[in-house]
Amino acid sequence: VFKLLRAYREHGEKFDVIIMDPPKFVENKSQLMGACRGYKDINMLAIQLLNPGGILLTFSCSGLMTSDLFQKIIADAAIDAGRDGQFIEQFRQAADHPVIATYPEGLYLKGFACRVM
C-alpha cells in the first residue's frame, strides 16, 4: 500500500475520499514505536492525496494503540503533509465486542473520520 500511495502522489492523483484500514501494525509493546511511524507515514501519504475538503477514514485494529495516541498520530501526519484537518467523527468497535475492564487492550478497533483542508 505504501508503494501504491507514493505512486499515486508521484502521478498527481487526487481523491475525495480515502479509507485506510491496514492490518495490525503492532503485536507487542516493543513494536509500538515502529507502528506509530507506520501509521503516521500511511496517513500522511493518504492526506497528501486528498482534495481540499476530502475525507480520510482511517482505522487501527491494534489493541496497544490507544485512541488518543492514534488521534495524535493522524494530527502529526496532517502537519507533516502540510495540511489542516478536522476530526469530524470518532469510531470504536461495536457493542458486540465488549471491553473487559482489566484489559484495556481489548478496545482494539478505533478510527476517525477527518476532513482535510
DSSP letter string over 66-79? Answer: -HHHHHHHHHHHHH
Sign of CA dihedral 93, 112, 38, 104: negative
Among 32, 28, 15, which Cα is nearest to 116's? 15
Q: Do the Cβ atoms of 70 and 110 come closer than 8 Å?
A: yes
pLDDT digits (tens, 9 = 90+) for 71-92: 999 999 999 999 999 999 999 9
At 4, which amino acid appears? L
Q: What is the reported pLDDT for 27?
A: 87
Domain 2-116 fold is: Rossmann fold (3.40.50)
User: Does 36 participate in catalysis according to the annotation?
Assistant: no
User: Rounded to whole angstroms, how far apart are CA atoms 70 and 74?
Assistant: 6
Domain edges within the chain: 2-116
63 is written with which cell numbers? 489493541
Among the listed residues 55, 57, 61, 113, the single catalytic one is 61
pTM: 0.93
CA-derived radius of gyration, the chain: 14
Instruction: Give residue-wise pLDDT tens across range 92-102.
Output: 999 999 999 99
